[in-house]
Amino acid sequence: MSNRWSKLVHYMLSPVPCVLCGAKCKAQRSLCGACFAELPFLSANACQVCALPLFFQGKSSQGKTCGRCLNSPPPYKKCIAAFDYLEPVAHLVQSLKFHGKLAYASLLGSIMADSFVDQIDVLPNVIVPVPLHRTRLRERGYNQALELSRPIAKKLGVPIDITHCNRLRPTSIQSLLPADERHKNVRGAFEFDNERKFSRVAIVDDVMTTGHTINELTKTILQSGVTEVSVWVCARAPLH
Ligand SMILES: [Zn+2]
Ligand SMILES: [Zn+2]
């Protein structure tokens, strides 16, 4: 056996510590079965459009769409989220985003891919990770949305495009702003060049809260001639 292959076999068979409890796990993922089972996977009782929890299940023939989406449909077709934004996912996302834990992107991204695969009717032409402004990208050194996109792109066989979508100005971090300032903060923040004439795009991001950033990027992409935008996020946070 070549040195490379023996290293690979050794790697595959070696127990790795679970990122949450430290228990040894042989799974390809660095998460033990018990911790995986405890993850806050998105409730089945979520709006099929915006992925927020449905508090009332009526007999409406319109299916499981929340009142907010019925009254004022968002610009995207559908938001798919792997998790509710609860612990320990919140910790993993924050560590990925602010503390350089890039390994968490492959863990979370591969779980996202597995949970999305049955929920996607028609694959998009391309995945567009929500871009960071170049100043923040320089500070952080990576874009967590792109890192989450990689395992998804691989599993679904959809390419990632990071060259035709830009954040034009350095916006404040949305979660630090009061809700009424978030829309203003991201207005006109993006550009998208649909040079390759895509018709279906999936936006990938780590967390979706009020949706102002995602809505703004969706509108920008739709203005370029794309006909359908889906949103794939790791976690959906409640509005308040
Ligand atoms: Zn564990
Ligand atoms: Zn909804």
Instruction: State in Å: Cα 140 to ligand 1 middle.
Output: 28
Work out the percent of the chain whose per-residue pLDDT is above 90: 70
Label residue 61 by pLDDT band (50, 70, 90): very low
Rounded to the nearest whole angstrom, what is the distance from the C-alpha of residue 18 to the centroid of ligand 1?
Answer: 5
Q: How far is the CA of 30 from the centre of ligand 2 (A)?
A: 33
Q: Band of the pLDDT at 240, cuts 50, 70, 90?
A: low
C-beta neighbour count of 133 within 10 angstroms: 15
Within its chain, how far is the Cα of 215 from the centroid? Answer: 14
Q: Across residues 212-216, what is the average pLDDT?
A: 95
Could you say which ligand is closest to the alpha carbon of residue 24? Answer: 1
Å from CA of 16 to ligand 1 middle: 10
Q: Which ligand is nearest to the CA of 37?
A: 1
CA of 146 to the centre of ligand 1 (A): 26
**How many angstroms is it from 33 CA to the middle of ligand 1?**
7
Distance 99 CA to ligand 2 centre (A): 32
By the CB criterion, residues less than 5 angstroms from ion ligand 2 are 47, 49-50, 66, 69
Overall size of the chain counted in residues: 240
The answer, yes or no, to whether residue 80 has pLDDT greater than 50, is yes
Note the ligand closest to the C-alpha atom of 81: 2
pLDDT band at 108 (very low <50, low <70, confident <90, very high): very high
Please say if the pLDDT value at position 113 is more than 60. yes
Question: Which domains can be identified in the chain, with CATH numbers?
Answer: 1-38 (no CATH), 39-236 (3.40.50)
User: For the residues 188-206, what does the mean pLDDT come to?
Assistant: 94
Does residue 57 carry a pLDDT above 60?
Answer: no
Ligand 2 centroid from CA 69, angstroms: 4
Q: Averaged over 2-26, what is the pLDDT? A: 76
Q: Which ligand is nearest to the CA of 88?
A: 1
Rounded to the nearest integer, the mean pLDDT of the chain is: 90
Higher pLDDT, 10 or 35: 35
pLDDT for the residue 236: 97
* 145 has a pLDDT exceeding 50: yes
Using the mean position of ligand 1's atoms as its centre, give its distance from the Cα of residue 17 in Å.
8
Most confident of 15-19, 20-24, 221-225: 221-225
Structure tokens belonging to residue 68: 């907010």
What pLDDT is stored for residue 7 in this prediction? 65
Q: Tens digits of per-residue pLDDT, 154-172?
A: 999 999 999 999 999 887 7
Given a cut of 70, whether residue 193 has pLDDT beyond it is yes
For residues 32-56, give the mean pLDDT: 91
